[in-house]
Amino acid sequence: MSQIKTDVVVIGAGPAGYVAAIRSADLGKKVVCIEQDNLGGTCLNVGCIPSKALISAGHFMESTKHAAEMGFSVETPKLDITKLIAWKDTIVTRLTGGIGGLFKNRNIEWVKGKGVISSANKVTVETAEGTVEISCTDIIVASGSEPAPIPGFDFSDKVWSSTEGLAPKTLPKKILVIGGGVIGMELGMFYAQVGTEVTVVEFMDQLLPGTDPELVKVVQRKAKKAGIKIHLKSAAKSYTIKGDGVEVLVDVNGKEQTFDADVILLTVGRRPVTDNIGLENVGVKTDKRGFISVDAQCQTKTPHVYAVGDITTGPMLAHKGSAQGVVAAGAICRQPGIAYDCKVVPSVIFTDPEIAWTGLTEAECKEQGLDYKVGRFNFAANGRAMSIHATDGLVKVITDAKEDTILGVHMVGPNVTDLISEGSLAIETGLTAEDITLTIHPHPTLSEVFMEACEDVHSMSPHVMAKK
């Protein structure tokens, strides 16, 4: 058994873990990071990054449909799925290799294997070369999450998780998506854009549960236009192999129906990876769903043991994990005033069109009994949106009726996953709708839609028909 002595051990090298490791090293600590797979975790290898690469390819296919309107004569593109996956993999390799370079630059040691916490200052790792015992002062757990299964649908060559959905060897002609949430709709719309017949089965009464219904309607309309068949209030019960494909039994609004497909894409959510990593050895408990509670410094109830990312309560988002990684490292290094105290964590969905939001929803405002106002502006009235043939969608701004401070921003439309950051900054800094309207936005840009929505809060948008 080989032994290593260090200051900080980070378990997991996803967006939460590798950021925590790098920040700890930048603050003067000797760091060891444990990761059994590739650096970058789920996000860089089989999640955020590869999915956006495929989605970008789907958008390209979709854009060619409008070529004739712009005066171009273009033959229908033919997809080579093998080359597409290879291109996607080059992006992943470049980014994960970049993390390796950042580690080397800071003398962070990567131990490849499965780490198990032995005590509050010791972690044991099973590697290909044997067991490694690492002694340390502080531990940051960033073990991430994994696709959640459902009874009767174990992952296989016919039941794909998002991982298999991002690396098909051949393009399925028909795919049944179980779960119309973020992952299901992002990948479902990609497959529809590249020619696959897609059916989505969602248990709840709307797609993208938890998202403002006003935004969802825009995406659902576009999905149906793309040929996606959507069944709400529906539950997949079982499946059988039928030839080279599958036959899936689904309860659709209380009536049983069967659907044929080449494969099933199961995307009902993700679950934290907190089992079998030794948390019980240091008295760290999880809730019934497997999440760990932490304080404002991302420390568990056990001193010197921190937790960040998908394993902590709150949204499973890479940017939330990275923010927590910075906080945990700062707390370990005794940075004064360091805390995870953000007002908002923005959410983004890369459907077609994109969805993004930050802050309170209208429903939450009503539940809290807040007196609020709403302003809206459509991308259909924006010159830049017209010029890129992307006029579906709107921006909705929610403000405090008396103070005018921005409480929530909700967007659906082109590039809103980039535009939402202005909304988050506005809420974090306590800006008002008037502050945004008095900030000159460049023309012609998509960012003007946010400004116009803020103008509409006071019924003062110069590009909206006046109410008489």
Residues marked active site are found at: 443
Distance separating the N- and C-terminal Cα atoms of the chain: 81
Q: Quick check: 199 and 183 in contact, CB under 8 A?
A: no
CA atoms 195, 200, 206, 209: torsion sign: negative
Q: Is the peptide bond between 444 and the residue preceding it cis, with omega within 30 degrees of 0?
A: yes
3-state secondary structure of 346: coil
DSSP conformation class of 331 = H
DSSP string, 80-111: -HHHHHHHHHHHHHHHHHHHHHHHHHTTPEEE
Query: How does DSSP assign 155-169, residue by residue?
Result: -SSSEE-HHHHTS-S
Bond prior to 353 in cis (omega within 30° of 0)? yes
CA dist., res. 289 & res. 321, Å (int): 18
Report which of 359, 271, 229 is spatially closest to residue 42, judged by C-alpha positions: 271
* Positions of E strands within 183-325: 197-201, 229-231, 234-242, 245-252, 255-261, 263-266, 270-272, 305-307
Gap between the Cα atoms of 62 and 299, Å rounded: 46
In angstroms, the Cα distances linking 250 to 210, 246, 255, 261 are 23, 13, 8, 13
Q: Give residue 95's Cα distance to chain centre.
A: 17
Burial of 38 (0-12, 13-18, 19+ CB in 10 A): middle
